[in-house]
Amino acid sequence: MWDRLAVRDFLVSAAALMEVAMADKVDYFEIGTPDPEASGAFYGELFGWRIGSPSPAEYRMVNETDGGIWDTSAIGGGSWAIFYVHVDDVDAAVERAKGLGAQVAIPVTSNPNIEFAHLIDPQGNRFGVWRPKA
């Protein structure tokens, strides 16, 4: 039998954890590809991921919110798999990264829901920084 107070305390604690700021945490991934159908089929079969339908911007969500597959054919057809770090201020994170030797691959970009940028670290690894808009 469940102790009601223990369950309530657990739920309150879980809700509090979800409200903790996600700044500086890796919480999203993206696969850039000029062939999103093939990439979606590959990763969907390999990991059992649910690949959403393409948006008007040719972006497909993975498992609704875990990550995405971006059709890069309109921006040069690059291929990448990157992680995104959730930051409080995208512009400040980009400037700090540049000061540490990073290069900008995709400058700060804004849409109605998010703001993000892609960077290349001094060793050549691509990564992203992002934040949701309030």
What confidence tens digit (pLDDT) does each residue in 78-102 have?
A: 899 999 999 999 999 999 999 999 9
Using alpha carbons, list the distances in angstroms from residue 127 to 11, 66, 83: 34, 16, 6
Domain ranges of the chain: 21-132
> For the chain, where are the E strands, in sequence order?
25-33, 59-62, 67-71, 80-86, 103-110, 114-120, 126-132
* pLDDT for the residue numbered 3: 41
**pLDDT tier, 22 (very low <50, low <70, confident <90, very high otherwise):** low
Assign 3-state DSSP to the chain and report helix, strand, coil percentages, each to 5.
30, 35, 35
Would you tell me which CATH number, out of the four given (3.10.180.10, 3.40.50.300, 3.40.50.720, 1.10.10.10), belongs to the domain 21-132? 3.10.180.10
Return all residues near 77 (Cβ < 8 A) that are at least 6 apart. Answer: 34
